[in-house]
């Protein structure tokens, strides 16, 4: 339910649900799912502006997961990249952003692939590379639209307009 609450704009509620889910899963030893929930929790923390907690949860998700687990690895790397970018560590942020995109590229999770491109766009924007950021947002927008995720498609279009102006709407 956490990702649905995040999509609905209820970020604090998303974080509550994800934390409860993480605690339940670890209590029962479901670590293969707990790492994914930790990755989702990291995104909620980042959206709440709690970057240190976001990084902690992203690191935990990466440490708990397998190298070939895109459901945990992609989001965790994307969140960690954005947190680094916010701190001005652009080179390290870009590296993690590229790793996030690569981690999910071969999956069939269109939303997750789109999220990775959107996260990478944020990293590039923070580094002052808006043309490259816009290109990543275009990829994300296409994927959200193909998936039918109208909420994220609209949010992505808004981000594009902020970067490039009204021409991005076409």
| Domains of the chain in sequence order | 2-169 (1.25.40.10)
Handedness of CA 29, 111, 163, 129 (dihedral sign): positive
Q: Mind listing the pLDDT tens digit of every residue in the chain (170 residues)? A: 898 999 999 999 999 999 999 999 999 999 888 999 999 999 999 999 999 999 999 999 999 877 778 889 999 999 999 999 999 999 999 999 999 999 999 999 999 999 999 999 999 999 999 999 999 999 999 999 999 999 999 999 999 999 997 654 44
Full DSSP string of 57-92 = HHHHHHHHS-TT-HHHHHHHHHHHHHHHHHTT-HHH
Q: What is the DSSP letter of 55?
A: H
CA end-to-end distance (rounded Å), the chain? 33
Neighbour count for residue 136 (Cβ, 10 Å): 24
* Closest CA relative to residue 25, chosen from 59, 51, 78, 64: 64
């Amino acid at each position: 339910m956490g990702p649905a609450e995040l999509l609905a704009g209820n970020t604090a509620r998303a974080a509550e649900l994800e934390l409860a889910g993480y605690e339940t899963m670890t209590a029962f030893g479901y670590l293969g799912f707990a790492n994914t929930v930790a990755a989702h929790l990291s995104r909620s923390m980042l959206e709440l502006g709690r970057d240190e907690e976001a990084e902690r949860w992203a690191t935990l998700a990466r440490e708990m997961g397998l190298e070939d687990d895109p459901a945990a690895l992609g989001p965790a790397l994307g969140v960690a990249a954005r947190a680094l970018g916010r701190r001005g560590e652009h080179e390290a942020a870009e590296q993690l952003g590229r790793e996030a995109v690569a981690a999910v590229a071969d999956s069939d999770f269109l939303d997750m692939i789109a999220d990775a491109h959107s996260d990478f766009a944020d990293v590039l924007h923070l580094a002052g590379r808006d043309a490259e950021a816009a290109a990543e947002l275009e990829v994300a927008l296409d994927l959200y639209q193909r998936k039918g995720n109208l909420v994220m498609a609209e949010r992505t279009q808004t981000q594009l307009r902020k970067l490039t102006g009204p021409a991005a709407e076409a």
